Structure 1
Amino acid sequence: MVVQKLRRAGGADAVTATAVVVAAVATGLAGCSPGAAGTAPSAGPVAADGGKDDGAAGGPLGAVRAAPDLLVRAGTSRTRTALEMATGGTRLTIEGEGGYDFRAGRGQVRVLLPEDGDRPRRRIMELFTPGALYMKNRGAGVPVDKWVRVDTTTLADGNLVTGGATDPGAAAELLRAARHVTYVGEAHVGGVPVAHYRGTTDIGAAARLAPPRVRGALAAAAKGFTTDTVPFDAYLDEAGRLRKVRHRFSFTNGGREVDVASTTLLYGFGSPVDVWLPPLGDIYAGRIAG
């Protein structure tokens, strides 16, 4: 499996300094390779795009690359997220649920962390906005009624994994630079018939093609990873809208390589999504525990 490795320099310090969710959870991991949870139905590839990455494209490649624009036309959706991490023999999953406005580039997801020793599962509210991630109830010495604001352009991965949920807008925008796309076959996502596509994308190229609201975060990710290549599985409905996308990454934590599979589900298109940013007085400005 092709994976992406995060550089431990520059922006990586920002990840540690903010004590983001994945880094905290990953320290408890030990042992095995990721399993096949969430793997799409298996049908042999029947079409390929030949790997050309410039100019107009049709077929599977064109369908996948058009998905981000179709989501903007749809406006809003409900979303469920899952970030599955594995190293050695242990796998943990961080789940989330909320809504996203693809026109404004804003969304909110309530993330459910796994159990940590004797501590029960904890929920963190996250707000996605252009260039920033807000988190509430994130622990590490932050008062429960306060928010933490993180500049996603300073994160070594552009918040593709470190917040515990991939920004749904960024997950879709990565598909603008899709390459080597194949049509796998028909499937169903949430009872909706979809076309399953598989390929790779290039983060650097996606950053150059993305709209300004997500360009900075993706550009940071392009600099922070040692390779821009990210494998994906995308599922599009009859209208060409993205219903599910699964990206596969990896990063190093404490000398161990952690494999990450990030899955974003989209449904309920057109549902109301109101994202209210916290007032300045509710944003924590103190020291965050590492």
Structure 2
Amino acid sequence: MAQRQHRWAGAVAVAGLVASVCAGTAGCAGSGAAAEGGRGPEGGRATTDPVGTLHRAADTLVGAGSSQARTSMEMATGGTRVTIRGEGVYDYRHRLGRLKVVLPQDPAGESRHRPITELLTPEALFMKNRGAGVPADKWVRVETASLSDGNLVTGGATDPLAAAEVLRGTRTAAYLGRTELAGTAVRHYRGTADLTVAARNATGGNRASLAAAAKGFATARVPFDAYLDDQGRIRKVRYRFSFVNGQHGRAVAVASTTLLYGFGAPVDVRLPASRDIYAGRVAEE
């Protein structure tokens, strides 16, 4: 049967609120505290070699095993800001995650959408409660490499490991000092990553996804703010992605934020059997 997957942010059509021009905001500002380079495994490299430190961030997460995660994706149009929020867990070693994603309310303040359950893998995104006409017990499956953004924005949340692997493409970065995030001391970095380089250096299925994003976005250069703890683990990363709206041909921006905490959290992600995957048409909402 024919299958047409609905791209949320890629088509900028979330809950009927987001139109042609979207803009993401900048991340949190770090403090101007003096550099302290002798703490944690990174030691002095964290301050003297920010690019190298960020290149290693994804490997550090794999070493950590797993974590809990919160995500947000922000867009704005016509003076109305739209935020999609997600929360769940991720296993970096097995490259599997589960998020519950909540779509924004309508202008009247009412929620017309049930939370969407997403299962994340490098090769595919599985969504439940996604799309009109999909049976309640069925999943929608999307090949991430087939998406022009590599699923960095389509799912309404950026896969935590993919978010880390984008930093493998860091071209320039500056260390802005130490600050505190949710009670944890972190180092704040600001820079620009190149998705083409990130795809070349990524692992497993993320290579194809990031390569698709490098071609599909308005630019392969991605500004970011990243906050790493003294073990070199990402605690927060915020990207400003830019893509071309197909309807109007104008570049629009989405700000994606990923927060990681609770390292070592248990993760139990079971992918749906083929009989539980919906093969029909997914209607526009």
TM-score, shorter chain, exceeding 0.5: yes
- Bin the TM-score by the shorter chain: 0.7 to 0.9
State whether structure 2 residue 261 is matched by structure 1 residue 279. Answer: no
Q: CA deviation at 1:224?
A: 1.3
The one-letter amino acid of 1:17's match is R
Aligned position for 2:29? 40
Change (3 A) 1:45 1:226: farther
Aligned position for 1:133? 125
Q: CA deviation at 1:31?
A: 8.7
Change (3 A) 1:188 1:206: same
Q: CA deviation at 1:60?
A: 1.3
The one-letter amino acid of 1:137's match is N
Aligned position for 2:6? 19
Q: CA deviation at 1:208?
A: 0.6
Q: CA deviation at 1:108?
A: 0.6
28-37 or 198-207, which deviates more: 28-37
Provide the C-alpha distance between the structure 1 equivalents of 2:56 and 2:233, rounded to a whole number of angstroms.
9
Q: CA deviation at 1:240?
A: 0.8
State whether structure 2 residue 186 is matched by structure 1 residue 194. Answer: yes
Deviation by residue 1:167-195 (Cα, 9 ceiling, x = unmatched): 11100001011121101121112210100
Provide the C-alpha distance between the structure 2 equivalents of 1:224 and 1:244, rounded to a whole number of angstroms.
25
Aligned position for 2:116? 124
Counterpart pick for 1:62 among 52, 55, 78: 52
278-287 or 195-204, which deviates more: 278-287
Residue 14 of structure 2: SS of its match in structure 1?
A: helix
Gaps of 5+ in 2: 36-44
Aligned position for 1:263? 257
Aligned position for 1:9? none
User: Percent identity over the alignment?
Assistant: 59
Counterpart pick for 2:61 among 71, 81, 85: 71
Residue 25 of structure 1: SS of its match in structure 2?
A: coil
Aligned residues of 1:87 and 1:258 also touching (Cα < 8 A) = no
Counterpart pick for 1:162 among 146, 151, 154: 154
Aligned position for 1:83? 73
Aligned position for 1:176? 168
The one-letter amino acid of 2:160's match is P
Provide the C-alpha distance between the structure 1 equivalents of 2:269 and 2:61, rounded to a whole number of angstroms.
18
- How many residue pairs were aligned? 266
203-212 or 216-225, which deviates more: 216-225
State whether structure 2 residue 203 is matched by structure 1 residue 211. Answer: yes
| C-alpha RMSD of the superposition | 2.5
Provide the C-alpha distance between the structure 2 equivalents of 1:104 and 1:27, rounded to a whole number of angstroms.
35
Aligned residues of 2:217 and 2:241 also touching (Cα < 8 A) = no
Aligned residues of 1:32 and 1:89 also touching (Cα < 8 A) = no
Provide the C-alpha distance between the structure 1 equivalents of 2:65 and 2:237, rounded to a whole number of angstroms.
18
Provide the C-alpha distance between the structure 1 equivalents of 2:243 and 2:15, rounded to a whole number of angstroms.
10
State whether structure 2 residue 220 is matched by structure 1 residue 247. Answer: no
Q: CA deviation at 1:220?
A: 1.1
